[in-house]
A and B are shown apart, each in its own frame.
Chain A
Amino acid sequence: MYEKDGERYYIVDGHVHFWDARPENRNKYGEGFIACFYDYHRNLSPEEYVWPKEKYDRYSEEDMIHDLFEIGYVDKAIMQPTYLKDFFPGGFNTTEQDAAMAAHHPGRFICNGAWDPRDGEPGLKTFEALAHEYDLQGVKLYTAEWHGASKGWKLNDYWSYRYLEKCQELGITNIHVHKGPTIWPLNRDSFDVADVDHAATKFPELNFIVEHVGLPRLEDFCWIATQEPNVYGGLAVAMPFIHTRPRYFAQIIGELCYWIGADRILFASDYAIWQPRWLIEKFVDFQIPDDLAGEYAPLTPDVKRQILGLNAARLYGLEVPASVAAEPAGAAVGSEPVSPA
Chain B
Amino acid sequence: MITRTQVLDALAGVRDPELDEPLTDLGFVTEVAIDGDAVAVRLRLPTYFCAPNFAYLMVADTRAAVLSVPGAGAVRVELEDHFASSEINGAVKADRGFAGAFPDETEGGLESLRTLFERKAFTARQGRLCEELLAAGHSLEEIAAMRVRDLPPGADRDRCVQLRRTLGIGAADGDPAFVLPKRAHVDATHLDRYMRIARLMRVSIEGNAGLCRALLQTRYEFEEVAA
Which A positions have Cβ atoms within 8 angstroms of B?
29, 32-33, 35-36, 39-40, 42-44, 149-151, 180-182, 184-191, 215-219, 222, 241, 244-245, 248, 251-252, 255, 258-259, 295, 334, 337-338, 340-341
Residues of chain B contacted by A295 (CB below 8 angstroms): 199
A265 to chain B, nearest CB (A): 15
* Residue interface mask B184-213, A partner, CB < 8 A = 1: 000000100110111111011011101100
Partner of B113, one of A42, A188, A216, A337: A188
Q: How many B residues, CB 8 Å from partner?
A: 50
Residues of chain B contacted by A252 (CB below 8 angstroms): 203, 207
B97 to chain A, nearest CB (A): 10
Contact in complex: B106, A218 (CB < 8 Å): no
Residues of chain A contacted by B52 (CB below 8 angstroms): 181-182, 186
Residues of chain A contacted by B48 (CB below 8 angstroms): 32-33, 35-36
B219 to chain A, nearest CB (A): 5
Contact in complex: A187, B204 (CB < 8 Å): no
B219 to A, closest residue via Cβ: A39
Bound-state CA distance A255–B207 (Å) is 13
Which B positions have Cβ atoms within 8 angstroms of A?
18, 47-53, 83, 98-99, 102, 104-110, 112-113, 116-117, 119-120, 123, 180-182, 190, 193-194, 196-201, 203-204, 206-208, 210-211, 214-215, 217-219
Contact in complex: A180, B49 (CB < 8 Å): yes
Those 3 A-B pairs whose CB atoms lie nearest each other, nearest first: A32-B48, A185-B107, A43-B218
A182 to B, closest residue via Cβ: B52
Partner of B49, one of A32, A187, A219: A32
Contact in complex: B204, A341 (CB < 8 Å): no
Given the known inter-chain contacts A181-B49, A218-B200, please indicate yes or no for A337 contacting B193, CB distance below 8 A: yes
A252 to chain B, nearest CB (A): 7
In the assembled complex, 19 residue pairs joining A and B whose CB atoms fall closer than 8 Å, in A order, are: A33-B48, A39-B219, A43-B214, A43-B218, A44-B214, A149-B105, A185-B107, A187-B107, A187-B109, A188-B53, A190-B51, A215-B208, A216-B207, A245-B207, A252-B207, A340-B180, A340-B198, A341-B120, A341-B180
Contact in complex: B105, A185 (CB < 8 Å): yes
Residues of chain A contacted by B197 (CB below 8 angstroms): 219, 337-338, 340
Partner of B194, one of A186, A190, A217, A338: A338
A188 to chain B, nearest CB (A): 7
Residues of chain B contacted by A42 (CB below 8 angstroms): 218
Given the known inter-chain contacts A32-B48, A40-B215, A42-B218, please indicate yes or no for A184 contacting B105, CB distance below 8 A: yes
Bound-state CA distance A258–B123 (Å) is 19
Contact in complex: B53, A340 (CB < 8 Å): no
Bound-state CA distance A33–B83 (Å) is 10
Contact in complex: A187, B98 (CB < 8 Å): yes
A42 to B, closest residue via Cβ: B218
Residues of chain A contacted by B99 (CB below 8 angstroms): 187
Contact in complex: A341, B181 (CB < 8 Å): yes
Contact in complex: B18, A187 (CB < 8 Å): no
A33 to B, closest residue via Cβ: B49
Residues of chain B contacted by A215 (CB below 8 angstroms): 207-208
Contact in complex: B83, A218 (CB < 8 Å): no
Residues of chain B contacted by A187 (CB below 8 angstroms): 53, 98-99, 106-110, 112-113
Contact in complex: B47, A251 (CB < 8 Å): no
B19 to chain A, nearest CB (A): 9
A138 to chain B, nearest CB (A): 25
A248 to chain B, nearest CB (A): 5
Residues of chain A contacted by B113 (CB below 8 angstroms): 187-189
Bound-state CA distance A29–B48 (Å) is 9
A181 to chain B, nearest CB (A): 4
Partner of B207, one of A150, A248, A340: A248
Bound-state CA distance A295–B135 (Å) is 13
